[in-house]
Amino acid sequence: MGNLLDMNPIISATLQTLSKSRILIENLDDQILINASIGPYYSSIGSHLRHIFDFYHCIIEGVKSNHVDLTCRKRDKEVETSCLIALEYLENIQRGLGNYPNILLKEVTVVDDLGLGKTEISYTHASLLAQANSHAIHHYAIINYILHGLNVSISDLSFGYNPTTPSL
C-alpha cells in the first residue's frame, strides 16, 4: 500500500476513513466489541464493523468481474466477536483497496436490495467507493452512540462525524 497522498483521492479518503476502525479496534476488548446492551437497536460495535468491512469486501471481490453484489456478504460472526479477527479482516480490506486498479471512472454493475428485492444498478467504481465511504461514516456514528452508552471514549473526536458536519 503506497502513501495516501500518492493515491487517487477516493482511495485515499476511503483508507483514511477505515483507519478509524483500526484506532477503534485497538482501543477495545472483545467484551466491548460484542456488547449489545445499548438501545434502541441493541446492536454491537462488532456487528457494525463487520457490516462495514463486508461492504468493502464485496467491492474488492467484484473488481475482476466488474460485478459487485452487495447482498452477498460474508457475515463472519467471528469478526463481530474478536478484535483480533476484526483487525485481520480490516487489514485485508485495506490491502485490497491499496491495490485497487486504476478503473475508478469505469462503470460497474452493482446488485443491491433497496427494499423491493435485488436490483442491478450502474455505478462507476468511484461512485461505489464514495458510497461505501459515506456508509462507513454513517455506521461510525451509530458506533459512537454505542460507545457513549457504554461510557467508552476514544481519542478521535471526529469519529462518527461526516467531514461536512460543521464543527463548533
How many angstroms separate the Cα of 45 from the Cα of each of 21, 57, 81?
10, 18, 9
- In 3D space, the residue among 29, 75, 35, 28 whose CA is nearest the CA of residue 52 turns out to be 75
Q: How far is CA 151 from the centre of its chain?
A: 23
pLDDT in tens, 90-145: 999 999 999 999 999 999 999 999 999 999 999 999 999 999 999 999 999 999 99
Counting Cβ atoms within 10 Å, is residue 161 exposed (0-12), middle (13-18) or buried (19+)?
Answer: middle
What span, in angstroms and rounded, lies between the C-alpha atoms of 45 and 25? 9
Structural domains of the chain ordered from first start: 4-149 (1.20.120.450)
User: Would you place residue 35 in the very low, low, confident or very high pLDDT band (cuts 50, 70, 90)?
Assistant: very high
Cell triple for residue 92? 485485508
